[in-house]
Amino acid sequence: MWKGTPLFPDSASTMAGRVDALYFFLIVVSAFFSVLIAGLIVFYAVKYRRRSPDSVGASFHGGMALELTWTVIPFFITIVIFVWGASVFFAMSRPPDETLNIYVVGKQWMWKFQHLDGQREINELHVPVGRPVKLIMTSEDVIHDVFVPAFRMKADVLPGRYTNIWFQPTKPGRYHLFCAEYCGTRHSGMVGEVVVMDPSEYQTWLSGGAPEGSLASAGARLFQDLACNTCHRPDAQGRGPVLEGLFGKTATLQSGETITVDEAYVRESILNPSARVTAGFQPIMPTFQGLVTEEQLLELVEYVKSLQSLPPVQTR
């Protein structure tokens, strides 16, 4: 009866049922103890009311059984809530190994989506049903927050860094997408839709992709245009690290620290290259802050990721 209302939105992802079960458990526990405590207050207020002006109540020093009861029961209820909530949190925070990766850029006041095949969308995201989807998100200006009620999915989108969240839709349809973080005067208009399609329909839609090619190929062209290839050479003769086979590996810095080469590190190396310099190289790379847009950064990141399958070149 209440399905589809704001308080009870559609359940359209694998995580929605788990989130709902925990939510309703918390509601039931809260309601039960609220009624119990309020009822006991009224009951004892009536039972032990002063019946004459000069009456004095009897002293009561409590009992060990009562003290243990209202200590142990809330303790075990709290442990159940903690373990259950933690399991849901970790499941939502850890995407499966094989996901459909889609880049998201929040901007006052729109959502921009970029598929790896080159397809771009604004305020509308097409995904296939039954397949895990991972959103890699950043913001061009202020803090935003992507929220799809039907998927029970919500995550901050932050300027200057990447955050990610994943979901697996379970049924085709069109589902509302909101910005859940106040981001300016037109915050209420920063809305969109997630369109969940059958796999065959999704492939048909995707086949009409962008004429300029995939995100990685666009990044390869930009890599050449910015002359990055003059320093990052595959033959290890350049003034910068070899990028082939580097993404996902551990790099050693000049400070002796180690770091995993992920999206955030690649992004930082483009915008602030002197922040963490790879051991064996000098901090001579210029910054590209203000020279490349967020979309171009995503293209460069995806290009570096595409080199992951190539074997690293050994220096002599």
| DSSP strand pairing (144-148 vs 258-260) | unpaired
Nearest to 161 by CA among 106, 234, 242: 106
3-state SS assignment for residue 126: strand
Structure-block tokens of residue 59? 């002293």
Global confidence as pTM: 0.79
Which of the 8 DSSP states describes residue 221? Answer: H
Token pair 């064996």: residue: 280
| pLDDT number for residue 211 | 59
H-assigned helices in the chain? 16-47, 64-93, 199-206, 215-225, 263-271, 294-306
From CA 154, how far away is CA 145, in angstroms rounded? 7
Residue 222: how many CB atoms within 10 A of its CB?
Answer: 16
Q: What are phi and psi of 91, to 5 degrees?
A: -65, -35
Query: What string of pLDDT tens digits covers the 316 residues of the chain?
Result: 456 566 778 899 999 999 999 999 999 999 999 999 999 999 988 888 887 877 777 777 767 888 888 889 999 999 999 999 999 999 999 999 889 999 999 999 899 999 888 888 999 999 999 999 999 999 989 999 999 999 999 999 999 889 999 999 999 999 999 999 999 999 999 999 999 999 999 988 888 765 567 888 888 888 888 888 888 888 878 888 888 888 888 888 888 888 888 888 888 888 888 888 888 888 888 888 888 888 888 888 888 888 876 555 554 3
Structural tokens at position 296: 């171009």
**CA end-to-end distance (rounded Å), the chain:** 71
Alpha-carbon separation of residue 208 from 24, 50, 104, 213 (angstroms): 43, 81, 20, 11
Element (H, E) at 101: strand 100-107
One-letter amino acid at 133 equals V
Structural domains in the chain, CATH included, are: 100-206 (2.60.40.420), 215-309 (1.10.760.10)
Beta strands 153-157 and 144-148: pairing type?
A: antiparallel
pLDDT at 315: 44
The neighbouring-strand residues paired with 124 are 193
114 vs 110: CA distance, rounded Å: 13
194/198 Cα distance (integer angstroms)? 13
